[in-house]
């Protein structure tokens, strides 16, 4: 469950890219820039506001219930109550006992969650359309019949405190909370949404019940449904499920007075860390006010992209590694926020001075016509990108209906931004960039470094497993590869996917989806961190950062200017085994997107000036990684699991020395060897014509040639762990521990991969439905999150278990996890558990195929892993063919609770460190 989900209105609020509506290749898009043609809004007699939008031929529905209650509504001394209640509303209702909501939604393959912010709390389900009634049943019962069992309160409190302390691991979160407390001296917005620890510890079940009765009622709620349904049938269902809920009289919303700031404010946070931070908050009007539109333009021009004025003033000059900005529309007057990650050693006061200089310039000088037109182009594009997703449409309409009482504000943004005049923009700049509205916060890092404890090898039965989520879809991890050569003959990854191999070896995948005038691109090259020379850790990351920062035809500034002007997005990233790139564009800008990819892959020149800027930016990223518990845990795990010099031990945590010595010739040599057409894959989905795309790709990439033998980026697998081993890494300034535990994994080509994959899903890969989440988190309250994963890749990666916990609870969390594995191996497994996991894995495939972005990613992974053109047809049968007996056999063969490697990263003091002796796990001193 998400604690604080903030919507960034205007240009950024419309950039909510997620699920793209796959309405079939013959469907007609709605009229450009409007969402309202088929939207119906009404209110039930009990006061419930209803917004529905049918999207025919998308076999998915998204159901949201928004409550106009958040931390803003909490009484003094009761901070965190709205968020705590959100957690408790997953603990059972009259019709759905504890765990049943999660289980039933999981079986459909759907997604369900909730989030709380200052002004609202929202619950949602996105699931196959045939299960719409289930979502309505769940949300109606949650609204009126949640149990709020006192027995569940204490275990959930420990989960929330773990979440709270985990947030405190990050300096930017603590800085945000301090700046909020200075921005609002009296208004409830000054309090963290998750609450102050001391107040969260004192909240009682009576507090939550009173809050629930007061705010969880139809008159304070909005139901939004978007997707594949018949309007008349849906209306009858809504009236049946929600119409009988008492209206709770005339609900009266809280009215709070706005604050007036008189004079600039500053706050400074000093703590252990690596990189200075600056946060600025500026008071702006509440949601729905006309001044929001010129503010959206100003925010875009100042802080969005490499052409933004603050990017040029801060990043291009070497003061900062990153800058961002956004306006936050709220029920009461909100804030305009800027976040800056400074370069190490830079005085935050210099960043503040540079920002103020740029603010002064923009108040004195009108925007150029091109700056204004770019803002309009971005607004139009972002709305269309958001319309690709039924879930995002539901989210956006619910947000505006909740904070501004008018969902139509979402669709009105492009027209209202385009209607803004230069005079209105200047007036907004003068008014809102006044120093009297500003609150600056600095994070000034203090010295402190990680300490790696000596490994210990107790002689007993210690082991554990967990791995961070990856962007790969589960379905692309589930099937073994086909025999060698089979992939090359595949006609495509589905009936709609066209596959073409150019004479130079480049693979092109095209899947049309004409539901929206946008195109999604997902590509990769078989090169990555494992391809780096042993002494040049960080080379692949630096290379990816520089690909779009100068070619034989265009400078970095020219590339950024053209792409951002047309709202074309292109991003490169170095993974362990591949260079990946993702992009999106309006249909009219498809050629620009493909041209940019072709030019940056074939003609980068790695200019010296850009190299030095990128080096500084990645050195800052390295400093941040050194201060990251997650990064340190993975480094510690890989260093212990593999011999020195193994490519998987390369990490930004340790890259600083080699980054400083990388030269342009190293980048050129790396590019010449690894970036070639016969290791490149392009996957496109969306509003495309197959013949046109084919012709464009042949024109742009056909002349690209590969020379020499294709390089091999394979690497040795992890050797079996022989003894249980625990390593402790201490980092100053941390509050929660991140623990990784694992051992050797299974290869994708292994015929038992399906069995191991489903076994892992039952144990810890199934999110809230998994056994470890039900026991370690939900029953015992030992951790905020815990999950496991077999990472499918071209190489054999480890099986890993990961959790976040209070350092004092590391021991119990490990013991409970290991016991759960042993219970599974002993036969404690029901047919229902196996069936639920099978159905969840099969059903969730539908949600991936619903979006153009998801289709492009999935097709790319199917091709990359050589899964074959009939993968999607084979997948359901393969998963459903895994029986309970096969799961038990796989758990005994592929899970090793008595010989695992564990690495825990947390605060100093030895918390969580195991005592010596047989059978011991991490112990408190």
Q: How confident is the model at residue 250 (pLDDT cuts 50, 70, 90)?
A: low
Closest CA to 226 of 383, 52, 396: 52
In a domain, 248, yes or no: no
Phi-psi label, residue 806: left if phi above 0, alpha if psi -120 to 50, beta otherwise: beta
Give the per-residue pLDDT at 472.
32
* Mean pLDDT value across residues 528-550: 97
pLDDT for 826-862, tens place per residue? 999 999 999 999 999 999 888 888 789 999 999 999 9
Q: Are residues 118 and 160 in the same domain?
A: yes
pLDDT for 603-614, tens place per residue? 999 999 999 999
Burial 392-409 (b: 16+ CB within 10 A, else e): bbbbbbbbbbbbbeebeb
What the block records as the tokens of 395 is: 């989210």
In a domain, 808, yes or no: yes
Q: Looking up tokens 């073994």, which residue turns up?
A: 480
Residues found in the chain: 925
Give CA separation, 914 vs 300, 455, 725, 806, in Å.
51, 10, 10, 15
Q: How confident is the model at residue 916 (pLDDT cuts 50, 70, 90)?
A: very low
Q: Across 456-506, where does the E strand assignment appear?
A: 498-501
Lowest mean pLDDT among 464-468, 488-492, 504-508, 694-698: 464-468
d(CA 152, CA 99): 12
pLDDT for 337-373, tens place per residue? 999 999 999 999 999 999 999 999 999 988 999 999 9
Give CA separation, 807 vs 141, 243, 912, 922, in Å.
37, 48, 5, 10
Q: Are residues 649 and 687 in the same domain?
A: yes
In a domain, 761, yes or no: yes
Give the per-residue pLDDT at 642.
94
Q: Across 601-713, where does the E strand assignment appear?
A: 680-686
In a domain, 26, yes or no: no
Asked whether residue 769 carries a pLDDT value surpassing 80, the answer given is yes
pLDDT for 856-896, tens place per residue? 999 999 999 998 888 988 999 999 999 999 999 999 999 99
Q: Looking up tokens 């500003």, which residue turns up?
A: 438
d(CA 200, CA 195): 6
Give the per-residue pLDDT at 480.
54
Q: Are residues 102 and 205 in the same domain?
A: yes
Chain centroid, CA 433 distance in Å: 31
Q: Are residues 202 and 107 in the same domain?
A: yes
pLDDT for 165-205, tens place per residue? 998 889 999 999 999 999 999 999 999 999 999 999 999 99
Closest CA to 507 of 14, 893, 243, 869: 869
Residues 799 and 771: beta-carbon distance below 8 Å: no
Give the per-residue pLDDT at 385.
86
Residues 899 and 723: beta-carbon distance below 8 Å: yes
Asked whether residue 478 carries a pLDDT value surpassing 70, the answer given is no
CA atoms within 13 A on the CB side of 524: 21
Q: How confident is the model at residue 571 (pLDDT cuts 50, 70, 90)?
A: very high
The secondary structure of the chain in percent helix, strand, coil, rounded to multiples of 5, reads 45, 20, 40
* Mean pLDDT value across residues 509-519: 93
Lowest mean pLDDT among 149-153, 474-478, 759-763: 474-478
Q: Are residues 416 and 455 in the same domain?
A: no
What the block records as the tokens of 231 is: 């309007």
Lowest mean pLDDT among 45-54, 564-573, 620-629, 663-672: 620-629
d(CA 281, CA 294): 17
Q: β-strand 518-525 against 579-586: which pairing, if any?
A: antiparallel
- The torsion angles phi and psi of 269, rounded to 5 degrees, stand at -115, 125
In a domain, 742, yes or no: yes
Closest CA to 42 of 51, 55, 31: 51
Residues 881 and 754: beta-carbon distance below 8 Å: yes
Residues 415 and 33: beta-carbon distance below 8 Å: yes
Q: Are residues 221 and 271 in the same domain?
A: no
Give the per-residue pLDDT at 84.
98
Asked whether residue 924 carries a pLDDT value surpassing 80, the answer given is no
* Mean pLDDT value across residues 125-146: 97
847 SS3 class: helix
What the block records as the tokens of 861 is: 């992974």
d(CA 381, CA 383): 5
In a domain, 30, yes or no: no
Asked whether residue 214 carries a pLDDT value surpassing 70, the answer given is yes
In a domain, 524, yes or no: yes
In a domain, 483, yes or no: no
Residues 783 and 805: beta-carbon distance below 8 Å: yes
The residue with greater pLDDT, 570 or 15, is: 570
Specify the CATH number for the domain of residue 417. 3.30.830.10
Residue-range definition of the domain harbouring residue 230: 41-242
Q: Are residues 575 and 687 in the same domain?
A: yes
- The torsion angles phi and psi of 252, rounded to 5 degrees, stand at -115, 115
One DSSP character per residue, 351-371 reads HHHHHHHHHHHHHHSPPPHHH
Residues 811 and 922: beta-carbon distance below 8 Å: yes
User: Mean of the per-residue pLDDT values for the chain?
Assistant: 88
Closest CA to 761 of 625, 634, 882: 882
Residues 145 and 95: beta-carbon distance below 8 Å: yes
Q: Are residues 234 and 295 in the same domain?
A: no
Q: Are residues 47 and 133 in the same domain?
A: yes
* Mean pLDDT value across residues 543-565: 97
Q: Which residues contact 623 (CB under 8 A, 6 or more apart)?
A: 274, 275, 344, 656
Q: How confident is the model at residue 475 (pLDDT cuts 50, 70, 90)?
A: very low
What the block records as the tokens of 886 is: 């096969």
Q: Are residues 335 and 361 in the same domain?
A: yes
Asked whether residue 715 carries a pLDDT value surpassing 70, the answer given is yes
d(CA 174, CA 401): 30
CA angle 146, 83, 134 (to 5 degrees): 40
Q: Are residues 224 and 125 in the same domain?
A: yes
Q: Are residues 550 and 663 in the same domain?
A: yes
Give the per-residue pLDDT at 199.
98
Which percentage of the chain shows pLDDT scores above 70? 89
Q: Which residues contact 352 (CB under 8 A, 6 or more apart)?
A: 278, 280, 440
Q: How confident is the model at residue 249 (pLDDT cuts 50, 70, 90)?
A: low
d(CA 274, CA 227): 46
* Mean pLDDT value across residues 320-330: 95
What the block records as the tokens of 757 is: 């994959």
d(CA 135, CA 127): 8
Give the per-residue pLDDT at 502.
98
- When divided into structural domains, the chain yields a total of 4
Asked whether residue 467 carries a pLDDT value surpassing 70, the answer given is no
pLDDT for 780-821, tens place per residue? 999 989 999 987 788 899 999 999 999 999 989 999 999 999
């Amino acid at each position: 469950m998400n604690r604080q989900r903030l919507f960034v209105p205007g240009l950024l609020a419309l950039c909510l890219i997620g699920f793209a509506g796959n309405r079939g290749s013959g469907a007609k898009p709605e009229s450009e820039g409007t969402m309202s043609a088929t939207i119906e809004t009404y209110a039930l007699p009990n006061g419930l506001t209803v917004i529905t939008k049918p999207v025919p031929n998308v076999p998915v529905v998204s159901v949201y219930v928004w409550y106009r209650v958040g931390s803003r509504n909490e009484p003094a001394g009761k901070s965190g109550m709205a968020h705590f209640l959100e957690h408790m509303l997953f603990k059972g209702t009259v019709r759905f006992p504890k765990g049943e909501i999660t289980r039933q939604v999981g079986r459909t393959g759907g997604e369900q969650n909730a989030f709380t912010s200052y002004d609202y709390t929202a619950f949602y389900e996105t699931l196959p359309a045939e299960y719409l009634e289930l979502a309505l049943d769940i949300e109606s019962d949650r609204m009126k019949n949640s149990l709020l069992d006192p027995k569940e309160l204490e275990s959930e409190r420990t989960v929330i405190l773990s979440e709270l302390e985990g947030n405190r691991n990050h300096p930017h979160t603590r800085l945000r909370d301090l700046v909020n407390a200075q921005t609002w001296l009296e208004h409830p917005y000054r309090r963290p949404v998750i609450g102050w620890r001391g107040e969260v510890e004192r909240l009682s079940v009576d507090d939550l019940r009173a809050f629930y009765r007061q705010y969880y009622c139809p008159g304070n709620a909005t139901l939004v449904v978007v997707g594949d349904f018949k309007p008349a049938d849906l209306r009858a269902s809504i009236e049946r499920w929600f119409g009988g809920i008492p209206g709770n009289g005339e609900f009266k919303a809280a009215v709070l007075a706005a604050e007036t700031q008189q004079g600039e404010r500053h706050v400074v946070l000093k703590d252990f860390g690596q990189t200075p931070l600056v946060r600025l908050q500026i008071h702006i009007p509440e949601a729905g006010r006309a001044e929001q539109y010129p503010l959206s333009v100003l925010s875009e021009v100042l802080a969005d992209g490499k052409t933004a004025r603050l990017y040029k003033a801060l990043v291009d000059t070497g003061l900062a590694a990153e800058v961002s900005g956004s306006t936050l529309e709220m029920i009461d007057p909100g804030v305009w926020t800027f976040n800056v990650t400074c370069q190490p050693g830079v005085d935050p006061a210099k960043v503040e001075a540079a920002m103020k200089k740029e603010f002064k310039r923009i108040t004195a000088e009108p925007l150029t016509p091109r700056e204004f037109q770019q803002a309009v182009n971005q607004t139009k594009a972002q709305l269309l990108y958001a319309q690709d997703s039924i879930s995002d449409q539901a989210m956006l309409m619910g947000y505006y209906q909740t904070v501004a009482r008018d969902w139509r504000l979402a669709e009105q943004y492009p027209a209202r931004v385009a209607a803004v005049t230069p005079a209105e923009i200047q007036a907004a700049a003068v008014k809102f960039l006044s120093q009297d509205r500003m609150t600056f916060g600095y994070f000034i890092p203090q010295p402190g470094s990680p300490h790696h404890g000596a490994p210990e090898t107790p002689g007993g039965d210690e082991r554990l497993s967990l791995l961070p989520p990856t962007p790969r879809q589960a379905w692309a991890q589930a099937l073994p590869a086909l025999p060698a050569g089979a992939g090359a003959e595949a006609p495509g990854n589905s009936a709609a996917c066209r596959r073409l191999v150019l004479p130079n070896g480049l693979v092109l995948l095209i899947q049309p989806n004409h539901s929206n005038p946008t195109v999604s691109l997902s590509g990769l090259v078989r090169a990555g961190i494992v391809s780096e020379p042993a002494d040049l850790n960080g080379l692949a990351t630096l290379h990816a950062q520089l690909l779009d920062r100068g070619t034989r035809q265009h400078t970095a500034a020219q590339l950024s200017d053209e792409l951002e002007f047309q709202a074309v997005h292109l991003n490169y990233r170095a993974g362990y085994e591949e260079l990946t790139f993702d992009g999106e564009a309006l249909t009219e800008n498809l050629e620009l997107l493909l041209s940019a990819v072709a030019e940056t892959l074939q003609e980068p020149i790695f200019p010296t000036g850009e190299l030095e800027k990128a080096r500084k930016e990645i050195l800052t990223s390295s400093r941040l990684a050194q201060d990251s518990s997650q990064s340190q845990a993975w480094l510690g795990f890989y260093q212990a699991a593999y011999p020195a010099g193994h490519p998987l031990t390369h990490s930004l945590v340790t890259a600083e020395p080699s980054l400083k010595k990388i030269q342009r010739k190293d980048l050129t040599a790396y590019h010449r060897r690894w970036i070639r057409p016969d290791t490149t894959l392009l996957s496109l989905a969306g509003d495309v014509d197959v013949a046109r795309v084919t012709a464009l790709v042949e024109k742009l990439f056909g002349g690209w040639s590969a020379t020499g033998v294709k390089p091999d980026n394979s690497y040795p697998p992890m050797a079996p762990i022989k003894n249980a081993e625990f390593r402790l890494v201490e980092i100053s300034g941390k509050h929660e521990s991140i623990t990784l535990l694992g051992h050797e994994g299974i290869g994708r080509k292994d015929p038992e991969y399906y069995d191991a994959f489903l076994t892992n899903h039952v144990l810890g890969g199934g999110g809230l439905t998994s056994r470890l989440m039900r026991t370690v988190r939900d029953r015992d309250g030992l951790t905020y999150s815990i999950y496991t994963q077999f990472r499918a890749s071209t190489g054999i990666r480890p099986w890993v278990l990961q959790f976040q916990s209070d350092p004092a609870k590391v021991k119990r969390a490990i013991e409970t996890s290991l016991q759960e594995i042993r219970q599974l191996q002993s036969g404690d497994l029901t047919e229902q558990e196996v069936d639920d996991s099978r159905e969840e894995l099969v059903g969730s495939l539908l949600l991936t195929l619903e979006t153009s972005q998801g289709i492009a990613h999935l097709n790319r992974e199917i091709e990359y892993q050589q899964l074959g053109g009939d993968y999607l047809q084979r997948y359901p049968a393969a998963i459903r063919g895994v029986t309970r007996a096969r799961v038990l056999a796989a758990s005994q063969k592929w899970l090793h609770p008595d010989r695992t490697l564990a690495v825990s990263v947390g605060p100093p003091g030895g918390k969580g460190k195991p005592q010596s002796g047989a059978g011991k796990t991490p112990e408190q001193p």
